[in-house]
Structure 1
Amino acid sequence: MDYSLKQRWRLVLGRYAESLDNQLTPQQQQQDKVLDGLFQLGLEQRGFHLSGGLGASELPIIEWLDSAERLFPKSVNDTLQHQALEQFNVTELLQQPKVLDNISPSMGLLKQLMSINAHTNPKLAQQVQQIIRSVVDELFKQLQPRFNNKLSGRLNRQAHSPQKRLANLDWHTSIRKNLKHFDGERVRFERIYFHSRQQPQLPWHVILCIDQSGSMSASMIYSAVIAGILTRLPTVKLSLVVFDTQVVDLSVQADDPVKVLLATQLGGGTLIAKAWQYCQQLVETPARTVIATVSDFCEGGPERAMYQQAQQLIDSGVKMLGMTALSPESVPFYDSNATAQLSRLNMQIASLTPDHFANWLAKTMGFQQ
């Protein structure tokens, strides 16, 4: 028997096939642990009590779900998570207040709560809101400096500012003005000069168009945080649109990512053409408008309608950006045929992490550091 086939049978049969003559690779050992955890959970749900596993006493549920997403291909992971969430009642476990009391807030936990729409459960509303707030605050700390730095306006090299930011530092003026304090060995800097920034007369209109279908939980969370950051920038007018088969305008709540996430309900299909048709109604000055769409671009309706809508927007002068969905390990998943066709229409498509989106958006809007 082929050795790799033996290894696969070992993963299928689990601990009861340890006598097979095989050695699992380090990754396969991790996969085996995930599969064994699912097996134990299944037995416990059927009345058999085993040590370890995914029992409520140990609460490694989120870690297990995240590990499955990291270690297995998407098709396999979808099956594993379906079994865990549906057949073995992990959904019910995550919707018990006493369980949430004992799980530390994390991106993984919030992603799973969003996936099962736990925030719509009145009994969990306060706890889920606290978890959302904790995760959002941490993401804000990570991402806000990058967006502020990239999207605060062009440097005005003819004027100086009292705002002391390293990105605005004017080395040439600082050295020239302080040369008089040179003592033969070193320059003593009595004053450091910083450039001010020119604000455009007309802010850019950024329309974030976010796919909230079932597979987009992580992207939805990051997008809500990015929307909250962009609303605080004077160079940007922000509109926030979320969609599945319906389109919802959350622009009024965009300054508060917690409200945005509480207002979303993941699931359903995907109608990108319908979402772009709505976004087109929001455009006032096409040449200073960016529509940034976050999606896996698996259109549920006629693809022809999606391409036609994209072409209309691009022809009008709107800058169309598309960000593909990413797994927790930053592995992109998307419809490659659809993105290839949209690229041919001059829509820019990229797979990038949220912190790199700031660079991309700044370049698109003409802000140069």
Structure 2
Amino acid sequence: MTEESQSIDGESRSRLSRWRLVLGGNEADGIATGDGHRVELSAADARRDAALEELYGEPTKGRGGLGASSPRVARWLGDIRGYFPSSVVQVMQADAMDRLGLRQLLLEPEMLRTVQPDIGLVSTLVGLGRVIPEHSRETARSVIRQVTKELEERLRAKTIQAVSGALNRSARTRRPRYRDIDWNRTIAANLKNYQPEYRTVVPEKLLGHARRSSEIQRDIILCVDQSGSMAESVVYSSVFGAVLGSLRSVSTRLVVFDTEVVDLTDDLDDPVDVLFGVQLGGGTDINRALAYCQDQITKPAETILLLISDLYEGGVAEEMLRRAAAIVGRGTTMIALLALSDSGHPSFDSDHAAALAGIGVPAFACTPDLFPDMMAAAIERRDVSEWAASQDIVIHHEP
């Protein structure tokens, strides 16, 4: 066979593969090559076929719907952004509004009584944000507000307690001014130096709190990947951002990105506004986001940068790693959270996770319930990798 005929044959197979994707992968589609063999899909086309089947295939028990399947729907919304161009994604999202019952749900608010709003439903609504009709947005906002309020109530007390306690502990010093000495702790630490003849304790070390010229003790930057697969992490990040933003002792900045970077710090007091400011997309430029965050760091040693991303970099990976190394090199505490969710093991770029670990950026997934303790460890400048290991969290090491 000549090179030209091989090329034509390849083009024919590609055309037949597209027809098979259109007609479906069942035996009845009848798509075959000239020699009678059925067209086999490539691995990439097989994933596209599965995504199409989820939406357009014959209804089966457990497929679609909004109840317990919401997390799967949210993942599907993330998947299609990686498999299809944006013009096709918008068509599929619009079709999903009808086929999943979302349009009816949002147009008839009384239907909310039949669906339990949860993190999966919110993730779905965030993923469909661009195609939700304008006249339905208020209903969508009410659903999101209900869920984020419940999440904030559940997580607020533990977060404030953990962060405030860590700030107090980190402010302690062994060289306090006289008025800042903590006498109870100082006496307890020096009891071995009690002098019976003088009936007194001779303090070998003084314990107290350092005076600060400002109420702000730490700068926290949440840098959140808003690619479609990160929907649940975006929801939890908005909630934690609101809680941290309410603390006077820390300065909190929320930055979201795909191929563009958006600073949502001004909306931190309302997670609903944050989530409606998010536009989940398919591309990712982590390097560009880190460049923006790097410009916001004015006190490196007092700053904690949380990169919440699956690390699938669409930009220049080498430049991303160089920039992360520069940030850490200046004394900033940087952590890569591969996911901030309850959804189990995330999909992520293991090579980039290992490379970040090699330059001093621990990379692991974290559940919302563990997030406050992780923040406490970072604020106290403890080894965050050791903390994660103590929680039986899988940490990704350098190659």
* TM-score computed with the length of structure 2 as normaliser: 0.62
Within 5 A, what are the aligned runs for 1:313-352?
Answer: 313-325=327-339, 328-352=342-366
Q: 2:237 aligns with which of 223, 243, 249?
A: 223
Q: 2:262 aligns with which of 228, 232, 248?
A: 248
Q: 2:307 aligns with which of 293, 297, 302?
A: 293
Q: 1:235 aligns with which of 249, 253, 258?
A: 249
In structure 1, the gaps of 5 or more residues are 1-11, 14-34, 45-49, 161-169, 174-195
Q: 1:308 aligns with which of 299, 319, 322?
A: 322
Structure 1 moving runs of 4+ over 6 Å: 38-41, 52-55, 196-199
2:182 maps to 1:158:
yes
Q: Distance in 1 between matches of 2:267 and 2:74?
A: 31
Shift of 1:262: 1.2
1:284 corresponding residue in structure 2: 298
Q: Quick one: percent identity of the two aligned structures?
A: 30
Distance change >3 Å, CA 272–CA 142, structure 1 → 2: same
CA contact (8 A) 1:294 1:324 kept: yes
Deviations 1:254-290 (A, max 9, x none): 1211110111111131000000000011111110011
Shift of 1:232: 1.2
2:92 maps to 1:86:
yes
Shift of 1:98: 3.5
Q: 1:122 aligns with which of 130, 134, 153?
A: 134
**Residue 210 of structure 1: SS of its match in structure 2?**
strand
Total equivalences in the alignment: 286
Deviations 1:13-60 (A, max 9, x none): 9xxxxxxxxxxxxxxxxxxxxx9xx8898447xxxxx9x7779xxxx4
Q: 2:376 aligns with which of 335, 340, 362?
A: 362
Distance change >3 Å, CA 64–CA 363, structure 1 → 2: closer
Which residue identity lines up with residue 71 of structure 2 in the other structure?
Answer: D
**Residue 68 of structure 2: SS of its match in structure 1?**
helix
Distance change >3 Å, CA 283–CA 40, structure 1 → 2: closer
CA contact (8 A) 2:145 2:272 kept: yes
Distance change >3 Å, CA 197–CA 139, structure 1 → 2: farther
Q: Distance in 1 between matches of 2:357 and 2:250?
A: 25
Q: Distance in 1 between matches of 2:55 and 2:140?
A: 28
Shift of 1:315: 1.0
1:98 corresponding residue in structure 2: 107
Shift of 1:326: 5.6
CA contact (8 A) 2:311 2:352 kept: yes
In structure 2, the gaps of 5 or more residues are 1-24, 27-49, 173-180, 189-207, 383-399
CA contact (8 A) 1:54 1:61 kept: no
Within 5 A, what are the aligned runs for 1:40-55?
Answer: 42-43=57-58
Which residue identity lines up with residue 205 of structure 1 in the other structure?
Answer: D
Q: Distance in 2 between matches of 1:210 and 1:87?
A: 23
Deviations 1:193-220 (A, max 9, x none): xxx9989654200000000011111000
Distance change >3 Å, CA 221–CA 237, structure 1 → 2: same
Distance change >3 Å, CA 40–CA 234, structure 1 → 2: closer
1:137 corresponding residue in structure 2: 149
Q: Which has the larger radius of gyration?
A: 2
Deviations 1:208-238 (A, max 9, x none): 0000011111000000000000011122100
Shift of 1:331: 1.7
Shift of 1:116: 1.4
Within 5 A, what are the aligned runs for 1:108-119?
Answer: 108-117=120-129
Alignment RMSD: 3.8
* TM-score computed with the length of structure 1 as normaliser: 0.67
Distance change >3 Å, CA 261–CA 235, structure 1 → 2: same
